[in-house]
Amino acid sequence: LHNSEGTTMLIIIPIANGGGTGYYQQGFLDIQLLFEVVVGTMVGSYIGAKFTKRVPTPVLKTSLVALPIFSGFLLIV
């Protein structure tokens, strides 16, 4: 389960790079927003890595499925 979380984060990197490159090529890249997102992601990843080992496995399993679904819902609304 812990490997799944790390792999998921690793897969997000090329997807984000591809999206960022597209925005940059179209002239829509907001440097300040990019900086804020990168800093927030770095801090969140560090804190998440520290707490992941302390959370029970059923909670991790549920979170690994529920959080992307919830995030997708937020994009629709």
For 17-27, the pLDDT digits (tens) are: 888 888 889 99
Half-sphere exposure of 18 (CA within 13 A, CB side): 5
The structure tokens listed for 18 are 């591809």
Q: Residues 7-20: what's their mean pLDDT?
A: 81
Exposure string over 6-39, b if 16+ CB within 10 A, otherwise e: eeeeeeeeeeeeeeeeeeeeeeeeeeeeeeeeee
Does this model's pTM top 0.85? My answer is no
Of 4-13, 18-27, 31-40, the range with the lowest mean pLDDT is 4-13
What's the pLDDT score for residue 1? 62
Q: Residues 50-55: what's their mean pLDDT?
A: 81
